[in-house]
Amino acid sequence: MMKKMLLVFLLAGFSICVFAQNEDSTWFVNNYYKIERLIPMRDGIKLFTSFYIPKDSAEKHPFLMTRTPYSCAPYGEDKFTRLWASYRMAYLKEKYILVTQDVRGRYMSEGVFIDVRPFNKNKKTNKDIDEASDTYDAIDWIIKNIGGNNGNVGVLGTSYPGFYSTEAALSNHPALKAVSPQAPVTDWFIGDDFHHNGAFFAMDGFSFYSTFGKPHPLPAKDYGEGFTTSIKDNYKFYLQAGAVKNLAAMIGDSIKFWHEMYQHPTYDSWWKARNARTGLYNVKPAMLWVGGLFDAEDCFGAWNCYKATKTQSPATNSKLVMGPWYHGQWSGEGSYLGNVRFASNTSDWYQQNIEIPFFNYHLKGKGSVANISEASIFFTGENNWKKLAQWPPKNVENKALYVQANGKLSFEKIEPSVTTIKSLKSFSEYTSDPAHPVPYAEAVHDDRTREYMTDDQRFAARRPDVLSFKTEALTEDLTLADPVMADLITSISTTDADFVIKLIDVFPDDFEYAATLKGNGQNYPMGGYQMLVRGEIMRGKFRNSYENPEPFIAGKIS
Distance CA 100, CA 89 (A): 15
Q: How confident is the model at residue 171 (pLDDT cuts 50, 70, 90)?
A: very high
What is the pLDDT averaged over residues 168-182? 98
Residue 245 lies in a domain: yes
Q: 404 with 538, same domain?
A: yes
From residue 14, how far is each of 24, 102, 184, 351 by CA, in Å? Answer: 17, 12, 18, 18
Residue 463 lies in a domain: yes
Question: 422-441 burial by CB neighbour count: b if 16+ within 10 A, else e?
Answer: eeeeeeeeeebeeeeebbbb
| pLDDT at site 290 | 98
Phi, psi angles (nearest 5°) of residue 229: -140, 150
Residue 455 reports pLDDT greater than 90:
yes
Amino acid at 396: V
What is the reported pTM?
0.93
Q: How confident is the model at residue 339 (pLDDT cuts 50, 70, 90)?
A: very high
CATH of the domain at 447: 2.60.120.260
Phi, psi angles (nearest 5°) of residue 280: -85, 65
Residue 252 lies in a domain: yes
Domain end call among 243, 271, 299: 271
Distance CA 164, CA 175 (A): 17
Residue 19 reports pLDDT greater than 60:
no
Residue 512 lies in a domain: yes
CATH of the domain at 221: 1.10.3020.10
How many Å from the N-terminal Cα to the C-terminal Cα in the chain? Answer: 39
From residue 533, how far is each of 6, 324, 457, 510, 514 by CA, in Å? Answer: 10, 10, 10, 20, 21
| pLDDT at site 29 | 94
* Closest by Cα among 236, 64, 227, 73 to 155: 64
What is the pLDDT averaged over residues 532-536? 95
Number of structural domains (the chain) is 2
Residue 504 lies in a domain: yes
Residue 242 lies in a domain: yes
Angle between helices 234-241 and 244-251 (to 10 degrees): 100
Q: How confident is the model at residue 419 (pLDDT cuts 50, 70, 90)?
A: very low
Q: 261 with 400, same domain?
A: no
Residue 552 lies in a domain: no
Residue 133 reports pLDDT greater than 70:
yes
DSSP single-letter state for residue 73:
P
* Closest by Cα among 387, 391, 223 to 311: 391
Residue 78 reports pLDDT greater than 60:
yes
Which structural domain range is residue 426 located in?
4-11+395-542
Let me know: does 328 contact 297? Beta carbons within 8 Å: no
Let me know: does 247 contact 201? Beta carbons within 8 Å: no
Share of the chain above pLDDT 90, in %: 81
Domain end call among 241, 271, 301: 271
DSSP single-letter state for residue 454:
G
Domain end call among 271, 302, 335: 271
Residue 356 lies in a domain: no
